[in-house]
Amino acid sequence: MSVLESERQNETEVAQSATGVVDVARVEEFAEKVAGDHAVAVNAVLAYLGDRLGLWKALASVPSATSRELSERSGLAERYVREWLSAEAAAGYVEYDPDGSRFRLPPEHAAVLADDSSPAALAGTFELTAGLWASVDRLAHVYATGEGFGWHEHDSRMFNGVDRFFRPLYNSSLVEQWLPAVDGVVARLASGIRVLDVGCGLGSATLLMAETFPASTFTGVDYHDESIVRASASAARAGGSDRVRFERAGAEDYTGGPYDLICFFDALHDMGDPVAALRHARAELADDGVVLAVEPFANDRLEDNLTPLGLSYYAASATICVPNSLSQSGQAALGAQAGPGRIVDAFHEAGFGTARQAAATPFNLVIEGRA
């Protein structure tokens, strides 16, 4: 028996004495999974560097490249580029042809990693993850103390990364799926109504609606100063500042109503007091107005959310959504997997006469409330 085998046997015996019978095959299987997850986690750093340094776009712009050719095209050191390419080939992100030592980013992979306008774009998730790692010490602190950790306290990469993550969903779903799920809203937007986007972030959803429905006017509010500055700059570049404006305001203190449509895009569950936010929305709503809340897809029971998508949303919730809610008054901490039942209940508690799940897509729930 080798030393390694002896150590593994001793470890197994300790586990058996502490927790009962252990299936060694399952231990090995799970250890392989964790090792694989670790490799993926470390590669996320390299994927982020590929996004930040323009390597994905540079590789997508040519049929294939050697490490030296990509180094020259990107302006980066060849030795680093060579190791980066080797890692991405091992990860399956790029293809490698040993005949000529050439690397290729397939167009299907480029749609995910090198084109933010693609409906499949996911490079922003690596920027988001980089922002999370920058905040990990603070997260460890609030996990120990129970304190909150506000959105505005995160590393600035978080704000752009989250916007880049959600923008493909807005582009593919907002006009085509979410708005049509609410009876009569599309026709009213086309004829001209007043719309409010609460928790608008960098304004991507607000600006998309404004571009699609030129007869309507739009206001986006967010408590986060940097988001409002950047959203306002985007509106100015888009040339729609006469119909779109962004203002610094919280979910319970904005004014300017009555509004015909009030939207919460992936924001309601992040709030300290979602019921109070909905109650304020109802007070600012026109008599025949509608509140639309788009939330991450979830079932009502935890056991029905134990999926890869559920993992993604629970992980975001444990590091962003719940800490943000706990930093605000109310501290409801609904989490990103609250499910339709709890969201609809919040509408009813806020005084809405009717509230329903209007639609469910693979990634989102659409909740509609009317006074």
User: Which CATH number belongs to the domain containing residue 63 in this structure?
Assistant: 1.10.10.10
Q: Tokens 């500042």 correspond to what residue? A: 241
| Residue 269 belongs to domain with CATH number | 3.40.50.150
User: Average pLDDT in the 243-253 region?
Assistant: 96
pLDDT for 17 equals 44
DSSP-H helix ranges across 192-224: 204-212
User: Average pLDDT in the 242-270 region?
Assistant: 96
Answer yes or no: do 86 and 208 share one domain: no
The amino acid present at 327, given as its one-letter code, is S
Answer yes or no: do 99 and 164 share one domain: no
With respect to residue 119, please indicate whether it lies within any of the assigned structural domains: no
Cα–Cα distance measured from residue 314 to residue 308, given in angstroms and rounded to the nearest whole number: 10
pLDDT for 239 equals 83
With respect to residue 138, please indicate whether it lies within any of the assigned structural domains: yes
Last residue of a domain, one of 114, 146, 174: 114
Q: Are 337 and 326 in contact (CB under 8 A)?
A: no
Last residue of a domain, one of 58, 85, 114: 114
With respect to residue 132, please indicate whether it lies within any of the assigned structural domains: yes
User: Average pLDDT in the 239-253 region?
Assistant: 91
pLDDT for 242 equals 83
pLDDT band at residue 21 using 50, 70 and 90 as cut-offs = confident
pLDDT for 19 equals 55
Cα–Cα distance measured from residue 113 to residue 168, given in angstroms and rounded to the nearest whole number: 13
pLDDT band at residue 297 using 50, 70 and 90 as cut-offs = very high
pLDDT band at residue 13 using 50, 70 and 90 as cut-offs = very low
With respect to residue 38, please indicate whether it lies within any of the assigned structural domains: yes
With respect to residue 103, please indicate whether it lies within any of the assigned structural domains: yes
Asked if pLDDT for residue 2 goes beyond 90, the answer is: no
Domain count, the chain: 2
* pLDDT tens digits for range 130-147: 999 999 999 999 999 999
> In this structure, what token pair is assigned to residue 140?
């460890």
Single out the residue of 42, 45, 9 nearest to residue 24, CA to CA: 9
C-alpha distances in Å from residue 351, one per residue of 199, 268, 361 = 21, 16, 27
Asked if pLDDT for residue 358 goes beyond 80, the answer is: yes
Answer yes or no: do 291 and 341 share one domain: yes
pLDDT band at residue 201 using 50, 70 and 90 as cut-offs = very high
pLDDT for 8 equals 52
Residue-number span of the structural domain to which 65 is assigned: 3-114
> Who wins on pLDDT, 176 or 239?
176
- Beta partners for 290? 261, 370
User: Average pLDDT in the 317-326 region?
Assistant: 98
pTM above 0.85, yes or no: yes
Single out the residue of 285, 286, 268 nearest to residue 277, CA to CA: 268
Q: Are 64 and 29 in contact (CB under 8 A)?
A: no
Q: Tokens 């993550």 correspond to what residue? A: 165
User: Average pLDDT in the 30-49 region?
Assistant: 97
| Mean pLDDT rounded to a whole number for the chain | 94
User: Average pLDDT in the 301-329 region?
Assistant: 97
Q: What is the DSSP string of 164-215?
A: HHHHHHIIIIIIIIIGGGSTTHHHHHHH--EEEEET-TTSHHHHHHHHH-TT
Last residue of a domain, one of 95, 114, 133: 114
Asked if pLDDT for residue 16 goes beyond 70, the answer is: no
